[in-house]
Structure 1
Amino acid sequence: MTTAIRREAPNHNTLTCTTDYQCRRAECVERLRAWRRNRDRSITKGTWEPLLPAEPVRQHLLALHAAGITIHRVAALTGLTYKAVRSFTQHDYGNAAPRRHRVTRETAAKILAINTDDFTAGHVHPIGSERRFQALVAIGWPTIHVARRAGLHPSNRTTIFQAARMRATTAQRIAATYDEMRHQRPAQHGVSATSIKRAKKQAADRRWAPPKYWDEVGAIDDEHFESMYGVTRREIIAQDAHWLMTTNGLSKVAAAERLGVAKSYVEHAFRDHPEYDPRAAA
């Protein structure tokens, strides 16, 4: 007979921590009780409507997207998950699951409270645009094709991302191009097999993540997120061992023990990635 282990709630901002995770924090229990009291009063008055039509929320999200406020940004501003926000417009992202048609008042209020005038800046960080550009290359679109579709000058297709900030209007064009091109096959739009292969190799060599990766991690616009796409465990061990040996002064044996691997594994990691070997830098 197995004993069920109660999982920790991912947050304490909604009712799910008490209903799904049996949270017993005083403030969470009171939140549930207040919700039930309000529900009972509304039922008595005949005004109980637990879910609202989701179409106004969907239209608002589309308007925000047109203004350059992405799904990822909405999730960050509202505290909702990326997948929860995307579920209102997911048909635009090529997902098979049907989009959401009903929404709670709480979720609707959070999303509808976002005003484009408050969050659309004249200039934005270029990381999201750069990642979208690279993701399209990773699925076979040559950089020149992406640049042309996004309205960028071919000679400026990579240097534009090197500045600290970029125009919000440019970021909006790139986001719209990304949403369109990610579901199209390059071969069906005049791109040769050789060019597709070359683009994919370029992305692989530079570890540019495809759209699917960014869908999963939900951080394409997060400038503080470090992509681990294409990074092997051995390289991570080499990086961590380098840090332990150079910063903490540990020996190779001690670093391996701290990382929970054999000394030979660290040696193999340094062999494959000599740029992290402290002896190579000496």
Structure 2
Amino acid sequence: MTRRREPPNHETLTCYTDYACRLPACRDRYNTWNRDRGQAISAGTWQPLVDAEPIRQHLIALDEAGITFHRVSVLTGLPYKSVRAFVHHDYGHAAPRRRRATPEVAAKILAIGFTDSGYVSPIGSERRFQALVAMGWPTLHTARRAGLHPSNRNTIFRAPSMRAATAQRIAVTYDEMRTQNPARHGVSAVSIKRAKAQAAERRWPDIAYWADRMDVIDDPDFEPLYGVTNRELVAQDANWVMRTSGLDRANAAARLGVSKSYIDHAFRDHPEYAVDTAA
């Protein structure tokens, strides 16, 4: 079970500062950073932010060479939205173009050369399509806006990778369309209703869900738990524990910190995850 299921991202400080996460490891990470910051300030060596203009110019040059913001995001591990913000303001919001950056972020971006345009995972593009469907946008409209051939709008996500330039076009289109009302752009009420019903049936995360999770929307190892109840989650985890460890329900329950009866009820409600054991 290697997937990161829900933000905050527990490898950065944002889970503590922005989401009030208080897991011991995250609290220790923040305290260590804060202590190091205080010592650096006292020593006169603290340099928290640098001018982002060199970053902007480098990103523009990379983009002109075919290395898109999306590809830079993949290569550096930085969120696409954060990378793009060095060159463009945020669509539909008051957030201006970023003019400062941490030295670490600057170093990651400036280290990108001009030889790797490459391919990226299609997962982020697929999630953007799905979120727009949940908003009422049929995939046909999104495909046309992104410059994709309508016949490819579903099959494009079945391949193991896609061109970074295509992924960036979809990301830009998503940023534009997520602030627009489909009814005001030629989508009929019937089509909007049908799109929303399709997204609800398939439990596709919507725009609001991804708004706070843009740092992981392109992460293939992140598993969104949109619309998943705690009982279903326990059923999934118990299924995995019992299959991989050979434990019975009682011991699996102890491993997961729940009662055996809770697992029994979880398997009853979600029989697709049920594992038959002697206990």
TM range (shorter): 0.7 to 0.9
The whole-number CA distance in structure 2 between the counterparts of 1:10 and 1:170 is 37
The whole-number CA distance in structure 1 between the counterparts of 2:81 and 2:34 is 17
The whole-number CA distance in structure 2 between the counterparts of 1:139 and 1:119 is 35
Report if the CA contact (8 A) 2:49-2:101 is conserved: yes
Residue 25 of structure 1 corresponds to: none
Q: For the structure 1 residues 200 and 68, does the alpha-carbon distance in structure 2 shift closer, same or farther, using more than 3 Å as the test?
A: farther
Q: For the structure 1 residues 104 and 253, does the alpha-carbon distance in structure 2 shift closer, same or farther, using more than 3 Å as the test?
A: closer
The whole-number CA distance in structure 2 between the counterparts of 1:81 and 1:158 is 25
Q: For the structure 1 residues 91 and 170, does the alpha-carbon distance in structure 2 shift closer, same or farther, using more than 3 Å as the test?
A: closer
Matched positions, count: 250
Residue 164 of structure 1 corresponds to: 160
Report if the CA contact (8 A) 1:69-1:119 is conserved: no
- Partner AA of 1:179 in structure 2: D
Q: For the structure 1 residues 252 and 231, does the alpha-carbon distance in structure 2 shift closer, same or farther, using more than 3 Å as the test?
A: same
Q: For the structure 1 residues 139 and 55, does the alpha-carbon distance in structure 2 shift closer, same or farther, using more than 3 Å as the test?
A: farther
The whole-number CA distance in structure 2 between the counterparts of 1:245 and 1:104 is 45
Residue 36 of structure 2 corresponds to: 18
Q: Deviations over 1:54-74 (max 9, x none)?
A: 445345556657843329x53
Q: For the structure 1 residues 107 and 275, does the alpha-carbon distance in structure 2 shift closer, same or farther, using more than 3 Å as the test?
A: closer
| Aligned equivalent of 2:236, options 212, 218, 239 | 239
- Name the SS for the 1:8 alignment partner: helix
The answer as to 2:200 corresponding to 1:204 is yes
| Aligned equivalent of 1:151, options 113, 136, 147 | 147
State the TM-score, normalizing by the size of structure 2.
0.72
Residue 113 of structure 1 corresponds to: 111
Give the RMSD, CA atoms, in angstroms. 3.6
- Partner AA of 2:259 in structure 1: A
Percent sequence identity over matched residues?
60
- Name the SS for the 2:69 alignment partner: coil
* Higher helix residue share: 1
State the TM-score, normalizing by the size of structure 1.
0.72
- Higher RCO (CA < 8 A, seq sep 6+): 2
The answer as to 2:265 corresponding to 1:268 is yes
User: Structure 2, unaligned stretches of length 5 or more?
Assistant: 1-23
Map 1:81-96; keep pairs closer than 5 Å: 88=86, 91-96=89-94
Residue 8 of structure 2 corresponds to: none
The answer as to 2:127 corresponding to 1:131 is yes
Report if the CA contact (8 A) 1:9-1:17 is conserved: no
- Partner AA of 2:229 in structure 1: T
The whole-number CA distance in structure 2 between the counterparts of 1:106 and 1:162 is 35
User: Structure 1, unaligned stretches of length 5 or more?
Assistant: 21-28, 40-48
